[in-house]
Amino acid sequence: MTPEEVFLKLVRGIGDRELAALPELYAERTDVRHPMNPYGDHPLLSRDALREHFGGTGARVTEVIRFQPENIRIHRTADPEVIVAEFDYVGTVIATGEPFSASNVIVLRVRDGQIVESRDYIDHVAMTRARGLTEQLITALREPAGAPAAS
């Protein structure tokens, strides 16, 4: 698969809640980071770590919000393995029916049809608000730097 095809399979799989299949899009050794995560960037460096991530964090997200990727724009780079993708997750809060949107940018490196590196810049505040976790985020932000925080 091309980087574009892998990216589309990833974001559509997230939107369609096909979380169990997503780790197979990643190489056994990978490097996935969320540099803008207000709880801290906790690198995911293996397919097993991604399996745990999608089974934990991913499942908790899909329990409270439904969304699909929209406004997808994929930019090729001089490196044929790397794309930059801009998109929005657009959906609703399940409990209230309230709409939400969260902007995203992903820089993705795909080699031999698998993700070997990803930098995911997600609007974590919009996702936190949609999940009803604003107070938890505020509490975490008040913690001293270096203190353990919930995710």
Q: Check which CATH number belongs to the domain holding 133 and give it.
A: 3.10.450.50
Query: Looking at the domain assignment, is residue 149 inside a domain?
Result: no
Domain enclosing residue 21, as ranges: 3-142
Candidate from 39-48, 56-65, 97-106 with smallest mean pLDDT: 56-65
Percent of the chain with pLDDT over 90: 70
Query: Looking at the domain assignment, is residue 129 inside a domain?
Result: yes
Closest CA to 8 of 61, 72, 97: 72
Span 2-12, pLDDT tens digits: 999 999 999 99
Alpha-carbon distance 29 to 126, whole Å?
30
Span 72-119, pLDDT tens digits: 999 999 999 999 999 999 999 998 999 999 999 999 999 999 999 999
Structural domain total, the chain = 1
Query: Looking at the domain assignment, is residue 148 inside a domain?
Result: no
Under a CB-based contact definition with an 8 Å cutoff, are residues 54 and 26 in contact? no
Instruction: Give the model's pLDDT for residue 39.
Output: 85
CA 138 to chain centre: 21
Query: Looking at the domain assignment, is residue 150 inside a domain?
Result: no
**pLDDT, greater one: 134 or 59:** 134
Query: Looking at the domain assignment, is residue 39 inside a domain?
Result: yes
